Amino acid sequence: MAVFTYNDFRKVLARLSFEMTRSRKHETWEKRLPDGRSHRVSIRHKHGKDIPRWLFHEMLKQAGIESEEEFVRILRGKRRR
């Protein structure tokens, strides 16, 4: 199982058209969906640090990413299926 950093997650969110909407204690990234709903993900300011596994999976859910494999595809620059 791979370990990912907060910077990796930021790259994936940017590739999925999320925008950083605020930055205080945590960064809040948001993406508006066509039906009016939105996905929000909070990220800590620990840029190069590793994300704990349990938190990584919670962040995947918040971002609407279905699996770690999908995350890796997006991180490597490949399109979503």
pLDDT single digits (tens) 48-58: 899 999 999 99
80, 73 Cβ separation under 8 angstroms: yes
State the CATH number of the domain containing residue 55: 3.30.920.30
Give the per-residue pLDDT at 25. Answer: 79
Domain total of the chain = 1
Alpha helices in the chain (DSSP H): 6-15, 53-63, 68-75
Tell me which residues of the chain have a pLDDT lower than 70: 1, 79-81
How many C-beta neighbours within 10 Å does residue 47 have? 10
Flag whether 66 is in a domain: yes
Give the per-residue pLDDT at 80. Answer: 54
Give the per-residue pLDDT at 1. Answer: 63
How many C-beta neighbours within 10 Å does residue 65 have? 22
> Domain containing 44: what range?
6-74
Give the per-residue pLDDT at 7. Answer: 93
Q: pTM of this prediction?
A: 0.86
Give the per-residue pLDDT at 2. Answer: 81
Number of separate helices (H) and strands (E) present in the chain: 3, 3
Give the per-residue pLDDT at 45. Answer: 77
Give the per-residue pLDDT at 24. Answer: 78
